[in-house]
Amino acid sequence: MINRDVKVIIKYFIGDYSINSTTKFPLIEFMIFTMMYLCCIFLIYGVVLISFNLNGLGISSILSFIIAIGICFLFKTKTSLNTITNAFLSVCFVYFTICILLTGNTSSPFAPWLIAIPAFAITISKNITGLVWTVLCMVFFTTITLLSLFNYNMNLLALEHNKFLFEIIIQGLIYISAIAIGLITWRILFKSEPIEIAQQKRSYSYISYTDIELLIMDWNFLKYQFSKKFNQQIEAIEQLDFLTPHEKKYALIDYFKLDLILISETLSVSTRTVETNYYRVRKKLKENNYHEKYPYHKIK
């Protein structure tokens, strides 16, 4: 029941984002799962901090929770995945740095959370963004280490009688979070899939926005531009001599399995025009005894 409710929430936030962004769905699902989990952590920390009379940090937790939930709604827009990732990580970074600075610097129970930020960035972005967040966290940790050397140690926990209990709760939540996020990562990104689903996914090719914008060009240009990235597909389509260059272009577009609206907007034509071109390509393939889908093999 809980699993089904979670999937409904995930579906609400994601919607058709993976189709419109050409980003693999499992990666987006992993991100939204992790973001929602960390939102819960913010909320739990807020309650814990307020219960220990650390009202300032508690309010910061609640505010971070509200902002993080707001960022989740960016999945319902055309905002890029990198932008959403960086926005969410910025909230996490600001919140945890404040907590660390006010609860003992290097000895703060919140310090281990710094590791999660670059790890999350590297998993999602897989580009220089992960490196930037790694360097930023290293610089911050180096800074608080230097502050400790100069005896700067603002620790709101110093006067707290239940300091040990507080640290046990915080560290316990970190352990639970590490296990939970690890399970989420395994289940969504690395869990083996049924053969049918795996084969279906392999039949799809993920193409970047930059490449999608090039689809407005003619077939000869696309042949040259995509010759390295989609060499097999180009060669297979080029051998279909009964197709015109324009039809070959649509045969290639059909291979990418892009959203119909996205194609029409990119090519500045109506969805009806796109469907008509698809129909003509498939009709010719059928008339010449070829399969209507890539790799367009000859029917024996």
Read off the amino acid at residue 230. F
For residue 200, the model assigns a pLDDT of: 42
For residue 66, the model assigns a pLDDT of: 93
Residue that is written with structure tokens 């993920």 in the block: 206
Q: Do 121 and 249 fall within a single domain?
A: no
User: Could you tell me the pTM of the whole model?
Assistant: 0.58
Q: Which domain holds residue 42?
A: 2-191
Q: Do 243 and 129 fall within a single domain?
A: no
Q: Do 108 and 233 fall within a single domain?
A: no
Last residue within a domain, chosen from 162, 191, 220: 191
240 falls within a domain: yes
197 falls within a domain: no
| Tokens encoding 16 | 């058709």
Q: Do 94 and 221 fall within a single domain?
A: no
For residue 67, the model assigns a pLDDT of: 93
Q: Do 217 and 147 fall within a single domain?
A: no
294 falls within a domain: no
For residue 64, the model assigns a pLDDT of: 92
Q: Do 275 and 169 fall within a single domain?
A: no
pLDDT lower than 70: segments of the chain: 1-11, 13-25, 126-127, 149-162, 188-206, 300
